[in-house]
Amino acid sequence: MVEYDKLIFELSKEGRIGYSLPNSFASTYQFLDLNQDLLRTDSLLLPEVSELDVVRHYTNISRKNFGVETGFYPLGSCTMKYNPKINDEIASIQIFNRLHPSQPMSTVQGVLEIYDHLQEMLSEISGMHSFSLNPYAGAHGELTGLMIMKAYHESRGDYSRKKVIVPDSAHGTNPASTIVAGMEVVEIKSNSLGRIDLEALKQVLSNEIAGMMLTNPNTLGIFENDIIEITKLVHEAGGLMYYDGANLNALLGKVRPGDMGFDIMHINLHKTFSTPHGGGGPGSGPVGVCKKLSSFLPNPKVKKESNYYYIENEKDSIGQISSFFGNFKVWLRAYAYILSLGKEYLNLVGDFSTLNANYIKESLKEDYNLPIEGPCMHECVFDGLKDQSTGVRTLDVAKRLLDYNFHAPTIYFPLLFHQSIMIEPTETESKQTMDEFINVMKKIAKEAKDDPDLVKKAPHNTPIKRIDEVFAAKKMILTYKDYLEQNL
């Protein structure tokens, strides 16, 4: 079945339909009444297919995908934990799908209450003052948070603070978001342990620094043990501390970003709070701030007065960053997740995700280079195979894992190492699953010695083999129209 390789357009046959629409009751009105110059005259390259054609087509192509429910998905930094079914069920409650953003507030008290409760819970869990649920994704949250950082300084009449310190180990979105927010990036090198070098930090601090972005644990899965000193130094220099919540999973129940001195943060609800990744979205990236920054949160906002919730735009706000309240049905799932675990179980997430990652790290260090010894947090990073003499690279190991029905870890990130393999098991994986993964990783290390070509030519059992990426970039066939024109 995985051989299926049709495009939906190739199933098209004139006259087939896949829709069900009512009859017209006002056929006196026709597009012909409009000025013909306003109308489309060129043909529309959409397929004509039956409902079953559509269902079979997408079912068949779905079978060429790997999801969390297919198997272990240790994609580092992405927190591919199990996405509970009950949360999907709740997000599909009819009324939630039917509410319109323009409805009077009196008719949406339930969803406004959910917004307010969730932002309160996220504040408690992260030690912040308040949250906005409006940002659509992690990178969108970063951008929103950096806008708040800039707006804060400017509100005090300080226009000279335009530089944001970003460690060289940071996710690529950190420097990119800084630029989009109209600020400059000051990159600082990590020390040999992958941590912030305090001396390097001190050297870049000045009255031009707006703040610093940090993910803790960092992208090596290591906790910044100088965090108190770091936040103190940045604050003394007049800067704000931004917490990139990408790695928050390690800290649930253990450490709150607010308590470490962070002023602004975002949370990736699709990571830490288990909402499905959807093949790349929709996610949700709420932004939290300390008290003095709360008025800068994006509009619109949910407020409460004697048990009545209302929507308000505040003039100090950075403004609107989304069409309304963000990805409502995503944060609704996160709310259901928090209520399910409650205070009793939410605080075990950090423990189990960290225990799991350390178990994998210690189990693989004989076969893979472990550049940094000592405990890791929720993920661990290796720098390729220990035995590199056969020329088997990290990419090959990743591809070979696919043959064994595991998703590959994140590879070639962080950039600090040349052959990075970043493994994040999450707390929802059992010891058995991890043992199977560890055995396969060891087996691949052995294959790399005994039969390097077997690994270098992997994958062998997947629907397709390795792809010619140069062909894609050179030919630039980005649509079905391009495809037809190229006559392939």
Partner 1 sequence: MFKYFPHTIEDIEEMKNFLKINKIDDLFQDVPKEVLFQKEYNIPSHLSESELRRYFEKIASKNKELILFTGLGFYDHYEPAVINSLLSRQEFLTAYTPYQPEISQGTLQYIFEYQSMIQTLTGMDVSNASMYDGTTSTAEACFMAESITKRKTILISGTVHPSVIDVVRTYAKFKGLTVEIINEKSGITDLSHLQQLLGSHVAGVVVQKPNFFGIIESFEEVSKAVHEHGAILIENADISTLSVLKTPRLDGADIAVGDCQSLGMNVAYGGPTLGYLATLKPYVRKMPGRICGYSLDEEGRRAFVLTLQAREQHIRREKANSNICSNQSLMALYATIYLALLGPIGLKKANLLSYQGAHYLYDELIKTGKFKPYFNQPFFKEFVLETLIPYDMLQKACIDNGFLAGISLSNYDEKYQNLVTFAVTEKRQKSEIDELVSLVGGLSW
Quick one: 21 or 156, whose CB is closer to partner 1?
Answer: 21
Site string for partner 1, 342-381 (x = CB under 8 A): xxxxxxx--xx-xxx-xx--xx----------xx-x----
Site string for partner 1, 144-163 (x = CB under 8 A): --xx--x-------------
Quick one: 146 or 385, whose CB is closer to partner 1?
Answer: 146
The alpha-carbon radius of gyration of the chain (Å, integer) is: 25
CB contact at 8 A, 302 and 112: yes
**Contact stretch for partner 1 (CB under 8 A) within 122-130, 198-206, 236-244, 440-448:** 122-130
Q: 356, 270, 220, 221: which is closest to 80 by C-alpha?
A: 270
Which listed residue (160, 191, 389, 430) binds partner 1 by CB under 8 A?
Answer: 430
SS (H, E, C) 207-223: CCEEEEEECCCCCCCCC
- Total number of residues that touch partner 1 (CB under 8 A): 201
DSSP β-bridge partners for residue 312: 301
In terms of Cβ atoms closer than 10 Å to its own Cβ (0-12, 13-18, 19+), residue 196 is buried
Quick one: 180 or 389, whose CB is closer to partner 1?
Answer: 180
Q: Is residue 480 at the binding interface for partner 1, with CB under 8 A as the rule?
A: yes
**Contact stretch for partner 1 (CB under 8 A) within 278-286, 289-297, 384-392, 448-456:** 278-286
Q: Is residue 330 at the binding interface for partner 1, with CB under 8 A as the rule?
A: yes
Interaction residues for partner 1, span 279-298 (CB under 8 A): 279-283, 298
Which listed residue (204, 208, 340, 371) binds partner 1 by CB under 8 A?
Answer: 340
User: What is the spatial distance between Cα 90 and Cα 36, in angstroms, rounded to a whole number?
Assistant: 47
**Contact stretch for partner 1 (CB under 8 A) within 197-205, 234-242, 287-295, 323-331:** 323-331
Least distance (Å) between residue 310 CB and partner 1: 14
Interaction residues for partner 1, span 382-401 (CB under 8 A): 398-399
Which listed residue (167, 429, 440, 455) binds partner 1 by CB under 8 A?
Answer: 429
Q: What are phi and psi of 321, to 5 degrees?
A: -120, 0
Number of neighbouring beta carbons within 10 Å of residue 394: 22
Quick one: 347 or 390, whose CB is closer to partner 1?
Answer: 347
User: What is the spatial distance between Cα 62 and Cα 331, in angstroms, rounded to a whole number?
Assistant: 25
Interaction residues for partner 1, span 189-218 (CB under 8 A): none
Q: Is residue 182 at the binding interface for partner 1, with CB under 8 A as the rule?
A: yes
Quick one: 233 or 336, whose CB is closer to partner 1?
Answer: 336
Least distance (Å) between residue 386 CB and partner 1: 20
Run of H or E residues at 163: strand 163-167
Quick one: 157 or 280, whose CB is closer to partner 1?
Answer: 280
Least distance (Å) between residue 344 CB and partner 1: 5
Quick one: 20 or 306, whose CB is closer to partner 1?
Answer: 20
Q: Is residue 481 at the binding interface for partner 1, with CB under 8 A as the rule?
A: yes
User: What is the spatial distance between Cα 372 and Cα 246, in angstroms, rounded to a whole number?
Assistant: 21
User: Angle between the 328-346 and 349-364 helix axes, to the nearest 10 degrees?
Assistant: 80
User: What is the spatial distance between Cα 260 and Cα 482, in angstroms, rounded to a whole number?
Assistant: 53
Q: Is residue 142 at the binding interface for partner 1, with CB under 8 A as the rule?
A: yes
User: What is the spatial distance between Cα 126 and Cα 255, in angstroms, rounded to a whole number?
Assistant: 8
Quick one: 102 or 192, whose CB is closer to partner 1?
Answer: 102
Q: Regarding beta strands 308-312 and 380-383, do their DSSP bridges make them parallel or antiparallel, or are they unpaired?
A: unpaired
Least distance (Å) between residue 293 CB and partner 1: 15
Distances (CA, A) of 323 to 107, 131, 267, 373: 20, 17, 20, 46
Cβ-based neighbours of 279, under 8 Å, separated by 6 or more: 65
Chain-centroid distance of CA 416 in Å reads: 21
Q: Is residue 132 at the binding interface for partner 1, with CB under 8 A as the rule?
A: no
Least distance (Å) between residue 385 CB and partner 1: 19
Q: What are phi and psi of 95, to 5 degrees?
A: -60, -35
Interaction residues for partner 1, span 80-109 (CB under 8 A): 80-84, 86, 88-90, 92-104, 106-109
Q: What are phi and psi of 73, to 5 degrees?
A: -130, 70
Interaction residues for partner 1, span 11-70 (CB under 8 A): 16-22, 24-27, 29-31, 34-35, 37-49, 51, 54-55, 57-59, 61-70
Q: Is residue 220 at the binding interface for partner 1, with CB under 8 A as the rule?
A: no
Least distance (Å) between residue 349 CB and partner 1: 8
State both tokens at 353.
């995700």
User: What is the spatial distance between Cα 41 and Cα 359, in angstroms, rounded to a whole number?
Assistant: 63
CB contact at 8 A, 169 and 194: yes
